[in-house]
Amino acid sequence: MSTSCDLYRTVRLIRRFEERAIELVHSGVIIGGIHPYIGQEAVAAGVCAALRDGDIITSTHRGHGHVLARRADPARMLAELAGRSTGLNKGRGGSMHAADFSLGIFGANAIVGANGAITVGAVWAARRQAGEEGGPVGVSFFGDGAVNQGVLLEAMNLAALWRVPVLFVCENNGYATSLTVEDAVAGTITGRAEAFGMPAVTVDGADPQAVLDAADAAVLRARADGEPSLIECRTYRFDAHHTWEHGSRVRYRDEAEVALARTRDPVEIQGSRLSGVDRMAIDAEIEALLDCAVEFAVGSPRPDPAGALDHLYATGMRGRSGSG
Amino acid sequence: MPWLSYRKALNRALAGELAGDPDVFVLGEDVRVAVSTVTAGLAGRFGSGRVLDTPLSEQAFTSFATGAALAGLRPVIEFQIPSLLFLVFEQIANQAHKFSLMTGGQCSVPVTYLVPGSGSRTGWAGQHSDHPYSLFAHVGVKTVVPASPTDAYGLLSTAIRDDDPVVVFAPAGALAVRENVDFAELAAVPLGVGRVRREGDDVTVVAIGHLVWDALAVADEMAGEASVEVFDPRTLYPFDWDGLAVSVAKTGRLVVIDDSNRSCGIGAEILATAAEWFGLPAAPARVTRPDGAVLPYAAELDRAVQPSRAQLVSAIQRVLNDGGSHAR
């Protein structure tokens, strides 16, 4: 199928996955809530479409889109959110830590700005091991809230200094929880990268194709000569910062603003590029996939509490128990 | 037999692991010229690709190492200043340490954090004189504090080969120690195995890091009045509880000397465990830094805040004179 169809399939999958996950939050199946990615799907879809097998990504607390766009199994992802032993992380990580190392997904990370340096180290190491073959490029996804975290800026410096080909992808959705970019960011987001001599562009983060074009250009440079880049994707989060908000009285943006943003829906933007037949076929395929995923997740066994600290140490070491 | 200094022991361990495993590399500040001397000669021998000078970006290069470990390498980070561990506590305790569990065992993070010169270096004042090993034991990061050159060699080698993060504290107070050893007999030392440094019958003194040497000196001084056993745990987490239990079962009395602040220091944990498990007939004692101590600059003040031999003598006497009736 065409790139347009692939991009549509990804944004539609993420959208419907998130909607199903929110239902499972409200019905109590997903206990910790989620940070919905709804509205930002074009970023994950566009960036990940520029990658190939072996590339490395790291993600955030709002990470379902990245993990799905990197082709993690939606059923095992949903099982992870439901805390089941069949989940990607065997129920040990949940929404904010989903990982699939077999696909180069080096984990969603719940500390804002923390994943950049991890990505730089991972890509540096993988390329060193690959030698002449070149090795992977990496992507560090983060939000606008992360651009004021010192460790992320330090990581950009290391990437530029040591020519580690990492795409720093900023999903600027306008808000760090409730704090606006205007109230948080002095200077510009791209300016931070430019200060390290790193190419930086701002793209329409509602348009999967626009994101893909920018990512393609950055990945090309990255593979050619190890150059890192920053891509600022202007996007908008249609839903809550966290599903906790659904039942709270916290208000930091008005309905009109959200309604206006919703007029530029990445699923509709990409969907309009497909024939009606193609679109319906993909929609049906995704509904069937997610029906199976929900069934798998809800029907999967819960982990045995006796193994609560399994995997704490890679060596299998056990500390003392908390009682007795 | 030749003399082995503590720093040279660390250097030999690093060189040995670099030579033996191409996945091992060293990074840190000023490691190529070896300001701490611990990395002396390594850049020349192994190249700057395996001995990396980093910018002063402790948080980023600590997580850089985590990423490199996730991708299959075995980084060793040198921190010139023990208090830098506070700056990177997030990167070690909240990132490196948690990856294995959070991912359901999909990955491991074999990073070694080496701190040559932990604790007071006399006159380096508030922000260069901490000894934060108890913090790492508390969060569950493997933590070793070797007292001697041979243990420094053996434990650093083991730390680098271990598949989990390990913090290696090389106390400033032990860096001057030298041992007369056969280099061919230097060997890895397993984590979690303590060592009786001096046998005794009346009281067990658990001494950590450089304080092992103070405890041995005190044991000599007190030889006329008490038979002191000195137990060097070497690893604080995992702790050799079985080894300590054997010692305390023999002596029936326990004193800990620990260069941590008093509240929630490893000394507190050792006493708590003894209270729960060892059935001590006499109340135990500990000698530590005071609660919440910040090391002041002036030499007299610096020393006043660190555990001293005089305090240890008093603590031993107090424990020996306790009303308990331990029968041997």
Answer whether B95 sits within 8 Å of A89, measured CB to CB.
no
Distances (CA, A) of A171 to A67, A102, A147, A168, A236: 15, 25, 10, 10, 9
Homologous superfamily (CATH) for A3-301: Thiamin diphosphate (ThDP)-binding fold, Pyr/PP domains (3.40.50.970)
CA–CA min distance A72, chain B (Å): 14
Is the per-residue pLDDT at A24 higher than 90?
A: yes
CA–CA min distance B169, chain A (Å): 20
pLDDT value for A2: 73
Chain B residues within 8 A of A315 when measuring between CB atoms: 162-164
Q: What is the mean pLDDT of the segment spanning A317-322?
A: 94
CA–CA min distance A185, chain B (Å): 21
ipTM: 0.97
Confidence of residue A151 (pLDDT cuts 50, 70, 90): very high
Closest by Cβ to A315, choosing from B60, B61, B162: B162
Answer whether B99 sits within 8 Å of A150, measured CB to CB.
no
The residues, ordered by sequence, that sit 6+ positions from B315 with a Cβ below 8 Å of its Cβ are B255, B257, B285, B286, B287
How, if at all, do strands B112-118 and B166-171 pair? Answer: parallel
Mean pLDDT, chain A, rounded, equals 97
pLDDT value for B323: 63
Which pLDDT tens digit goes with each residue over A268-281? Answer: 999 999 999 999 99
List of domains in chain B = 3-185 (3.40.50.970), 195-320 (3.40.50.920)
Among B54, B64, B91, B244, which would you mutate to test the A interface (most chain A Cβ atoms within 10 Å of its Cβ)? B64
pTM score of the predicted model: 0.97
Place of tokens 């920018």: A214
Contacts 24+ apart (CB under 8 A), A24-32: A24/A78, A24/A81, A24/A82, A24/A294, A24/A297, A24/A298, A25/A243, A26/A243, A26/A246, A29/A82, A29/A297, A29/A298, A30/A81, A30/A82, A30/A83, A30/A95, A31/A83, A32/A94, A32/A95, A32/A96
pLDDT value for B85: 97
Which is it for the CA torsion A129, A130, A135, A136, positive or negative?
A: negative
Is B131 among the catalytic positions?
no
Burial class of A250 by CB neighbour count within 10 A (0 to 12, 13 to 18, 19+): exposed
Closest by Cβ to B66, choosing from A101, A121, A317: A121
The 3-class secondary structure across chain A, one letter per residue, is CCHHHHHHHHHHHHHHHHHHHHHHHHCCCCCCCCCCCCCCHHHHHHHHHCCCCCCEEEECCCCHHHHHHCCCCHHHHHHHHCCCCCCCCCCCCCHHHCCEHHHCEEEECCCCCCHHHHHHHHHHHHHHHHHHHCCCCEEEEEEHHHHHCHHHHHHHHHHHHCCCCEEEEEEECCEECCEECCCCCCCCHHHHHHHCCCCEEEEECCCHHHHHHHHHHHHHHHHHHCCCEEEEEECCCCCCCCHHHHHCCCCCCCHHHHHHHHCCCHHHHHHCCCCHHHHHHHHHHHHHHHHHHHHHHHHCCCCCHHHCCCCCCCCCCCCCCCCC
pLDDT value for A249: 83
Size of interface A-B (CB pairs under 8 A): 154
pLDDT value for B324: 55
Catalytic-role residue among B128, B138, B210, B326: B128
Domain ranges of chain A: 3-301
Measured distance CA(B169)–CA(B158) in Å, rounded: 14
Answer whether A111 sits within 8 Å of B90, measured CB to CB.
yes
Which region holds residue B12: left if phi is over 0, alpha if psi is between -120 and 50, else beta? Answer: alpha
Place of tokens 């030698």: A131
Could you report the average pLDDT of every consecutive run of 10 residues in chain B (328 residues)? 96 98 97 94 95 97 98 98 97 98 98 97 93 98 98 98 98 97 95 98 98 98 96 98 98 98 98 95 96 96 97 97 59
Measured distance CA(B80)–CA(B37) in Å, rounded: 11
Q: What is the mean pLDDT of the segment spanning A96-107?
A: 98
